[in-house]
Every structure is written in C-alpha cells, then in structure tokens.
Amino acid sequence: MNKIPKLSIHRPIRSFVRREGRLTKGQQRALNELWDQFGINNDPSALDLDKVFDRNASRILEIGFGNGYSLAQMAKSNPDKDYLGVDVHRPGVGALLLLIEGHDLNNIRLICDDAVDVLKHRLADNSLDRAQIFFPDPWHKKRHHKRRIIQPDFAALIAKKLKPGGILHLATDWEDYAIHMTEVLGQSTEFKNTANNGDYVPRPDYRPLTKFEQRGERLGHGVWDLIYKKI
C-alpha cells in the first residue's frame, strides 16, 4: 500500500518567541480594567487611527515595547503626539497599562499581536510619521539570523506604512545586529540614512535612556542608534 505523503505546511518565520511569564496581580488588574479603554482587540479589519485616538495628530508606532517604560515617557513628554504600541507579551502590556494609568496618559493605544500582521492588515499605507524598534531580540547565533525582524521584506513593508519623509528609528546593543541593520537598509531604495558621519547617530533626546542602557554603559557596552528617512 502506498503511503499517503505528508502535506508540506509553510509556517512564517517569527522574530519572537512567546515567553508569557507570570502576570503580577497589578498587571492582571490592569488588563481586566484598562484594556477596553486603551487596548485594540485583534481582528483583520483596518484601523481608522483618527477614530482610535479621537483626533488627528502625528502617529508613532513602537514595535516591541518591553515593559513600556520608554514608550510611556515619550507619550508623557509629547502629549501632542499619538503612540501605538505593539507587543506579543501580556505581562509587558499589563505593565504599560499600569504606567498609562499612573501618568494619566490618553495618547497611547496597545495591540497584543504580531507586528508583521498588524502592519500588513491593520495599518493603512502612508499613515505613520515614525516607526521605532528599540533593542529587538538580536538572535545572536548565526543559524537564527533569519529570525531577526529587520529583513529586506520587513523594511519594504514598514516603508509602505510611513508617510513620505517618515522616520524609522532603530536601536540595538549588539554591534553585529547594528551592522546587519545598516546592510539591510542600505540596500533599500526607500530609505536614506540620516547619519552625517558614519552609519549611526547619537541617541536623540526623545528616546529615554533606559535602566538597561545605564547598566550597560557602566559595563562598557555600546548602543547603536540608526535613523532612516523614507525617501
């Protein structure tokens, strides 16, 4: 008897692993009580950001906001701008909701989903003024480099969502990943490096210095900021 051949199922390469971790009582309370106000539920429909934020303003997307500290600080310092945070880890979402509550912020909205799916299906082309990705997983082993979020297809996708002149801001504490980023974006015909000397720029004032970076600086670790403008 002939064996039935196995179906070949193509699974997209993800840039993340869902390490859920344990929610604190405060994070769980924030998810229960604040999500309806500040969270955006997952569905395939396109977002009307003017309706989401109930105004028209500059729009900044942050992918992978971690515990949300820097995103909350930026939103607090720039009440005239709207911030959309996307992350897959619920403890981080809960932590950011607590910061939103504590600082009485109304210019942040959150999505707990894969950023690639959000970009493809939920955000209109030419809808963002800035996209920022700070300290993404470096996937430092060579065999895992294909899982890095900064890849040619991703650069092309995010370029579609940025307005002409829009900014893509990246930061990493892995020099090898910084080099990889410059190589990927250097091949893009849609972005121009804003650095005046070399590939990297000093940390701009609007990006808060995190405790992680402060600890790294004391240990002599480097941080590389890259800022590209959509042509």
Lowest mean pLDDT among 138-152, 184-198, 199-213: 138-152
Lowest mean pLDDT among 2-16, 42-56, 67-81, 200-214: 2-16
Report d(CA 17, CA 199) in Å as an integer: 29
Would you name the residues annotated as active-site residues? 137
Extents of the domains making up the chain: 58-230
Task: Average the pLDDT over 193-197 and give the result.
Answer: 94
Residue 9, phi then psi, degrees to nearest 5: -105, 120
Q: Is the pLDDT of residue 144 over 60?
A: no
The residues facing 224 across adjacent strands are: 172
Cα 229 from chain centroid (whole Å)? 17
Contacts by residues 1-8 (CB-CB < 8 Å, ≥ 24 positions apart): none
182 vs 19, higher pLDDT:
182
Q: Is the pLDDT of residue 3 over 70?
A: no
Q: What is the pLDDT of residue 44?
A: 85
Lowest mean pLDDT among 25-39, 44-58, 63-77, 133-147: 133-147
Q: Which of 171, 176, 161 is nearest to 206 (CA)?
A: 171
Q: Which of 25, 129, 9 is nearest to 78 (CA)?
A: 129
Task: Name the CATH superfamily for 58-230.
Answer: Vaccinia Virus protein VP39 (3.40.50.150)
Mean pLDDT of the chain: 90
How many other CB atoms are found less than 10 A from the CB of residue 209? Answer: 13
Q: Is the pLDDT of residue 20 over 90?
A: no
Confidence of residue 214 (pLDDT cuts 50, 70, 90): confident
pTM of the model: 0.88
% pLDDT > 90, the chain: 78
Radius of gyration for the chain, computed over Cα atoms and rounded to the nearest angstrom: 18
How far, CA to CA in Å, does 170 sit from each of 18, 79, 119, 132, 152?
22, 22, 17, 6, 15
CB 176 within 8 A of CB 138: yes
The token duo for 120 is 């493809």
The residues facing 171 across adjacent strands are: 134, 225
Q: What is the pLDDT of residue 156?
A: 98
22 vs 215, higher pLDDT:
22
Task: Average the pLDDT over 109-122 and give the result.
Answer: 97
Look at the block and give the residue holding tokens 């974006």: 185
Task: Average the pLDDT over 170-188 and give the result.
Answer: 95
